Structure 1
Amino acid sequence: MVKIESSPKVSVVIPNYNHAPYLEKRLDSVFNQTYRDFEVILLDDGSTDNSLEILKSYSDHPKVKHFVVSEEKNSGLPFKQWQKGIQLAKGEYIWIAESDDWAEVDFLEKLVPHLGEHTGIAFCKSHTFIDSTKELSSYYFPEDLYPKRWNESTYFNGRELIKQYHSNINTIPNASACVFQKNLAKFGDDILSMFFSGDWLFWARLMNQTNVYFLAEKLNFWRLSQQTTRKREGDYWVNKRFEESVVCINKIHELFGSGMIKLQNYNWLFMNYYSQVPIWLLPFQKKPEIPVSNFQFKMYLFNSSLIQFFKKVLIRIGLKNRR
């Protein structure tokens, strides 16, 4: 009798590029999971460090089903690697375990049971580190806009989560903190061509089809290393990140019709982008492709930045008076 091998419940996709210093910690945190019904897919996108040596040393592990090395130069487009891993996956659920992050050993054990017929996404909070040593205190950045919402574990209707929160800010800022149903994954040329913000739109398209479980517990360790796309510096990359984020907000709102869009949906994005621009130059900034007039946009920026400026002044005065 031929034994038929059953498919694993979870496929763990580990896309890597030049993360040799972090790989062993990442791989060990996956292989040591207390939840055992998973397979591992190792991907390397043209690394030039000793990543391949490390990956090869793990490639014979019984949990590893695929080890794929790109024959081309690194593309810099992370979501193409996501797509490749998901296409190879046999599991019902996907965990994109980024190669510079790591997880608690009970990460899958605590998230997978919340997935099912009506709930296709489960995610948790993250500890956030600058490289290996310095942890940023309470850095789950959706709390910047909605501090109380993320204090308790809860189920969301996916579309309501988009309307209330995800249309304004990426509520799953790190893929390593999320497990999702494979058959919900939808990529398009828009996402595949992005360097920074494609995950924001990717999660929205998943949420639009299912319910979501949020676990208010930090089971993931998110590393903001120097190699991560978010750390790219220079005017070109600052503008590229801003442009991609605006595209994501616009496309997310298209899921509900343009009538849902409000200028405030772009608030955190504008404030982050224009924090480096002197107030007196704001009226001369080019308006991005959003459905408001130039006058509305520039007055909004000017007033909001003026408020931020006076907040900073008051904080400095307060600190000075304490001395």
Structure 2
Amino acid sequence: MPFVSVIVPNYNHGRYLGQRLESVFQQSFEDYEVIILDDASTDESKEIIERYRNHPKVSHIVYNTQNSGSTFRQWRRGLERSKGEWIWIAESDDYCTADLLNVLVKQGLSNEDVVLSYCQSNEVNENGEGWRNMTWFTDPVDKEHWRNDYCNEGRNEIQQYLWQLNAIPNASAVLFKRTAYYNASPAFESMKMCGDWFLWIELLRQGNIVFCATAHNFFRCHANSTRTHETERWKKRLEEEMLIAQHLISILPATDRPKLHARMNSLLRSYCSTFSGKEVVQFLRNPATYESPFPYAAFMRTFSVRSAYKIAKTLFARKKN
């Protein structure tokens, strides 16, 4: 059997960390090490982590003195210390059944071309309650694909599903090959919200994917989840989704470009809606104040200068009143 490195990146998840680690140490699969990374937490995380310092499965405990600003950078730091052929990123606020690793490893070995093995997740709230299967998230793309176990060529999975949304919604449900990770573009590390989606695409360019429809993972959604969509977070997420769309346009066949360009245009329209009329007027007066990874001209073209002047006229009318 292969050796697995389990990386637990933590930041201020002391409330959930004990349950996370216990679910890792209770795995029926036995050939693994655990690497615990703390990104300068300010809660009780360190106290909880220290309880496991002498656990026989723990190979490394690393405390950052300054927050890295990205969980995806932490993933790489964990891999740099790992020995496993396969990697499991066990997010610190999630938990799992005792059979998760056993299932994912067996799936990974079922086909020599597999680079990513994952299972279905149940979404729970902060208290681990309110279970619902994550098919609610993928059903808008396909109501049947995630109802049964499957193996698919990685590039097919990208072209059929992953170009539309992050159909692998939780890293804690994923086991991937270490070698494939190091052959992937590191661009995902600079992202804050969609880095996992970018990484899955990069991994699946290199091999096959295998899926277990039974939910062995429990994905905790709470106030600090990356799916929380306050305006600024939503704006950042849209920027990263557009970067992914650009990346897909560059790597997928030309026949896929019309649907990818349509998606990019849709994302741009959503992105424009996150800016207030006052901001747009400011951009018109002084384009240098526009800060985004996407060109000012593309933004204004999508928004439409005519609409911007209409907003300006409304604003000035309000000012007079």
Query: TM-score normalised to the size of structure 1?
Result: 0.79
1:143 corresponds to 2:139:
yes
* Residues in 2 aligned to 1:269 and 1:148: alpha-carbon distance in whole angstroms: 28
* Residues in 2 aligned to 1:108 and 1:272: alpha-carbon distance in whole angstroms: 39
* Residues in 2 aligned to 1:272 and 1:177: alpha-carbon distance in whole angstroms: 31
Which residue identity does 1:106 align to in structure 2? D
Which residue identity does 1:113 align to in structure 2? K
Superposition pairs for residues 1-323 of structure 1, below 5 Å? Answer: 9-72=3-66, 74-116=67-109, 117-135=112-130, 137-140=132-135, 141-186=137-182, 188=185, 190-231=187-228, 233=230, 235-257=231-253, 259-263=255-259, 270=266, 274=270
**Equivalences, count:** 285
* Same amino acid, percent of matched pairs: 35
Q: How much is the aligned-residue C-alpha RMSD, in angstroms?
A: 3.2
170-179 vs 246-255, which deviates more?
246-255
Q: Structure 1: which 5+ runs fail to align?
A: 1-6, 300-323
Distance change in 2, residues 1:60/1:288 (3 Å): closer
* Residues in 2 aligned to 1:269 and 1:48: alpha-carbon distance in whole angstroms: 41
Which residue identity does 1:162 align to in structure 2? I
Distance change in 2, residues 1:188/1:294 (3 Å): closer
Query: TM-score normalised to the size of structure 2?
Result: 0.79
Report runs of 4+ in structure 1 exceeding 6 Å deviation: 293-299
Structure 1 residues 172-194: Cα deviation after superposition (integer angstroms, max 9, x where no partner): 11100000111100454521111
Structure 1 residues 223-271: Cα deviation after superposition (integer angstroms, max 9, x where no partner): 01222333363x3222111000110122133222455223467659948
Which residue identity does 2:114 align to in structure 1? T
Q: Structure 2: which 5+ runs fail to align?
A: 284-291, 305-321
* Residues in 2 aligned to 1:265 and 1:150: alpha-carbon distance in whole angstroms: 26
Which residue identity does 2:244 align to in structure 1? C
* Residues in 2 aligned to 1:296 and 1:145: alpha-carbon distance in whole angstroms: 29
Which residue identity does 1:88 align to in structure 2? R
* Residues in 2 aligned to 1:23 and 1:218: alpha-carbon distance in whole angstroms: 21
